[in-house]
């Protein structure tokens, strides 16, 4: 059975779209992705600082077009995105520490991620607000207060840093970064068809 890894940060709209479309890839291939929380800001700081410069040029034709296409991709995935939501680009440290705290329970992580993505990108709540994240955890059937408290544990902080460092070492430059069988790296929602083809042995 092939191994599928999905390195992600909740602050990325493209990642939300890919997260929504990932289920189709899993269904078609019979391979379940292992979600790996990372801090995309740490990845940008290490290997892709140009993203900050590009964000500063809001009238850049490429950026304007990219945002429009992103909204089209969202609609194609059945998501009525709010862009930009309050606080965008959001600080996602607390959110991703909460995700890391439940990485060993992949079902819980998926439920929390879906809820947090939805509150930020569909309902327009602030991802950097602890109340939003605690409520998202509650939406997922989790104890949000307890989960938020775990983010202060050094082991959780270290786990998020380790995941982020691992992604960088393996070639990641943003979110989502997807690996098939550890060595084949793909980036973003638009490369999911290639992920599916690789998993099917067509590449």
Q: Which domains can be identified in the chain, with CATH numbers?
A: 4-199 (3.40.30.10)
How far is the C-alpha of 141 from the C-alpha of 137, rounded, in Å? 6
- φ, ψ dihedrals at 7, nearest 5°: -85, 125
At 1 the pLDDT is 78
At 51 the pLDDT is 66
At 56 the pLDDT is 64
The answer to pTM > 0.85 is yes
Contact yes or no for 185/177 (Cβ under 8 A): yes
Please give the mean pLDDT across all residues of the chain: 95
Question: pLDDT (tens digit, 9 = 90+) per residue, 71-83?
Answer: 999 999 999 999 9
How far is the C-alpha of 72 from the C-alpha of 126, rounded, in Å? 23
Other beta carbons within 10 angstroms of residue 51's beta carbon come to: 15
How far is the C-alpha of 113 from the C-alpha of 23, rounded, in Å? 14
Question: pLDDT (tens digit, 9 = 90+) per residue, 91-127?
Answer: 999 999 999 999 999 999 999 999 999 999 999 999 9
Question: pLDDT (tens digit, 9 = 90+) per residue, 20-73?
Answer: 999 999 999 999 999 999 999 999 999 977 665 666 676 778 888 988 999 999
Q: Where are the beta strands (DSSP E) in 9-127?
A: 34-37
CA of residue 200 relative to chain centroid, distance:
24
How far is the C-alpha of 36 from the C-alpha of 106, rounded, in Å? 9
């Amino acid at each position: 059975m092939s191994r599928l890894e999905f390195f992600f940060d909740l602050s990325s709209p493209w990642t939300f779209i890919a997260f929504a479309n990932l289920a189709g890839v899993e269904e078609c291939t019979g391979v379940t992705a292992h979600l790996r929380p990372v801090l995309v800001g740490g990845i940008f700081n290490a290997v892709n600082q140009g993203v900050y410069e590009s964000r500063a040029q809001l009238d850049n034709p490429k950026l304007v077009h990219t945002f429009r296409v992103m909204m089209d991709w969202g609609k194609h995935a059945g998501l009525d995105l709010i862009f930009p939501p309050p606080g965008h680009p959001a600080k996602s440290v607390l959110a991703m520490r909460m995700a890391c705290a439940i990485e060993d329970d992949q079902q819980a992580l998926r439920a929390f991620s879906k809820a947090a993505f939805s509150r930020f990108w569909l309902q327009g709540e602030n991802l950097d607000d602890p109340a939003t994240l605690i409520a998202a955890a509650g939406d997922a059937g989790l104890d949000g207060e307890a989960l938020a408290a775990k983010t202060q544990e050094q082991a959780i902080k270290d786990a998020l840093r380790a995941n982020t460092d691992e992604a960088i070492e393996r070639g990641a430059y943003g979110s989502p970064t997807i690996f098939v069988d550890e060595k084949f790296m793909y980036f973003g929602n638009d490369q999911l068809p290639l992920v599916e083809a690789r998993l099917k042995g067509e590449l």
